[in-house]
Amino acid sequence: MKVFGIKNCDTVKKALSYLDDNGITYEFHDYKKLGVEDSKIKEWANKVPFEKLINTKGPTYRKLTDAEKAKLSKMATAIPVMQEHTSVIKRPILEFNGKIILGFDVSEYDKADFM
């Protein structure tokens, strides 16, 4: 399993604690430090509606210019904005068994077959 997110994000911390507490091994990719490839964003968008990859509730989104926010409405123009402002990407993103889960929801994690 691979977990994508930002290490100091409270939601990511909750997700990692859940995984640790349940003995689920994972590799963590901090996209604040390591970035995220456009091919990875496209891969995620093939599995969930693209709009769900955008974190519109955080301060990073609120600080974007109107022009940058407008670019987030289409995948082709959103990817460079997402790469420049990685905090605007929903987190965490868990990849496992060819699937992904966005965010942290105990009931959804409990139902997932991480093994």
Q: Which residues are catalytic?
A: 9
Is-contact 87 58, C-beta < 8 A? yes
Is-contact 95 5, C-beta < 8 A? no
DSSP-derived 3-state class of residue 93? strand
